[in-house]
Amino acid sequence: MNIHQLDFVLPPELIAQAPTVRRADSRLLHYRRDERSMAHRAFAELPSLLRPGDLLVFNDARVIPARFALRKPSGGRVEGLFIGQTSPRRWQVMLRNLGGVRAGGSLFFANDPSIGASVIEQYDDGRYLIEVDFDRGAPELLSRLGRMPLPPYIKRAKDEDARDDLDRDRYQTVYAREPGSVAAPTAGLHFTPDIFDALKSCGVECAYLTLHVGLGTFKPIATETLETHSMHTERYSIPASTAEAINTARRERRRVIAVGTTSARVLESQPRGDVIEPNSGETAIFIYPPYEWKHVDALVTNFHLPRSTLIALVAAMIGLEAQRCIYAEAIARKYRFFSYGDAMFVE
């Protein structure tokens, strides 16, 4: 499959730069595969579109404020993004504007010069290993000095502290529990406590798994064909209660609906068959047309970037031609795109 088949022209003004005033104020494009029909709704209507017994599977990963700023001894600013830690003091990071600082070079945090850092190693893929003069680990320090790791298409001035407060609230699902993601599972951003109450009243079940979303989720496919694209790896966990809920729903022929492409990828990473076991591991599954779905019957998702692995997954769910028609309709009706944008329900 050629990457150009996943390309489209998106007017820049449709890229959502901020969330709606209220989470559930977003719009919902409702697509039925059996009828090839589209309807335009409010996201708050989603519970009324579901069936009693449907099982929604959510990703409860929590985004950490992974962006931070360092200073060189000369005073120059270095932009950093936390990726992971091998120990409380040793972080794997991406660094920009490092300039002439090499292995062994000293830096310090821009917001707290008393905390230093030194470059230990640079990897071939552009990542760095740094040692930080802080013993209690990255989550604690970043909660104080970090900023939310918004995708590159959302623009924020570096000094917009009020905006960061907003993003710490709204670039996070209301059910986020497990810290570690550097990107939000954005299909879940629309859900509110009131919507969860409505789901319960409609007889819809909810279950949770965890996939820590990495930077690769925003990486465009750079190869000409999808088959030659190297997919990023992300860690996931399926607890026993969620495995049991999914297995019961499958036995009773009830629908399993993935909330977001991250939930879908975790479910589809499990072996084909009737039983899903509770487990933790890594997945690098790349879902694109043609694909035979094993565990997911329907999908709630946002509108995604052209040439991305995310839009390839959507095309695998509804077909390439339908994906093109839906996205053309969404653009014509001025839906808001990407992380803070509107949503789509495919059943």
Q: What's the pLDDT tens digit per position in 282-296?
A: 999 999 999 999 999
Query: Which one-letter DSSP state was computed for residue 133?
Result: S
* Mean pLDDT, all residues of the chain: 93
- Tell me the sheet residues that pair with 108: 71, 116
Could you tell me the maximum CA-CA distance found in the chain, to the nearest angstrom?
66
Q: Which spans in 292-344 are helix H? A: 309-318, 320-332
Q: Count of alpha carbons within 13 Å of 117, Cβ hemisphere only?
A: 33
Query: Residue 207's CB: how many other CB atoms inside 10 A?
Result: 21
What pLDDT does 126 receive? 79
Question: Under DSSP, is residue 322 helix (H, G, I), strand (E, B) or coil?
Answer: helix
Whether the predicted pLDDT of 248 surpasses 70: yes
Burial pattern 309-338, b for ≥16 Cβ within 10 A else e, equals: bbbbbbbbbbbbebbbebbeebbeeebbbb
3-state secondary structure 166-187: HHHHHCCCCCCCEEEECCCCHH
Look up tokens 């030194």; give the residue. 118
Q: What is the CATH number of domain 3-63+171-346?
A: 3.40.1780.10
- Domain limits, CATH 3.40.1780.10, in the chain: 3-63+171-346
CA distance readout (Å), 62 to 17, 67, 91, 150: 21, 15, 19, 13
Strand locations in 123-233 (E): 127-132, 178-181, 205-211
Q: What CATH class is the domain 67-146?
A: mainly beta
| Nearest-angstrom CA–CA distance, 152 and 31 | 29
Single-letter code of the amino acid located at 267: L
| Nearest-angstrom CA–CA distance, 117 and 105 | 9
Whether the predicted pLDDT of 214 surpasses 90: no
- Tell me the sheet residues that pair with 37: 32
Confidence of residue 266 (pLDDT cuts 50, 70, 90): very high
What is the mean pLDDT of the segment spanning 173-194?
96
- Domain limits, CATH 2.40.10.240, in the chain: 67-146
pLDDT tens per residue, range 135-152? 998 989 999 999 999 988
Confidence of residue 19 (pLDDT cuts 50, 70, 90): very high
pLDDT tens per residue, range 37-60? 999 999 999 999 999 999 999 999
CA distance readout (Å), 344 to 42, 137, 157, 258: 10, 38, 30, 12
Whether the predicted pLDDT of 159 surpasses 80: no
What is the mean pLDDT of the segment spanning 232-261?
96
Confidence of residue 217 (pLDDT cuts 50, 70, 90): low
What pLDDT does 231 receive? 85
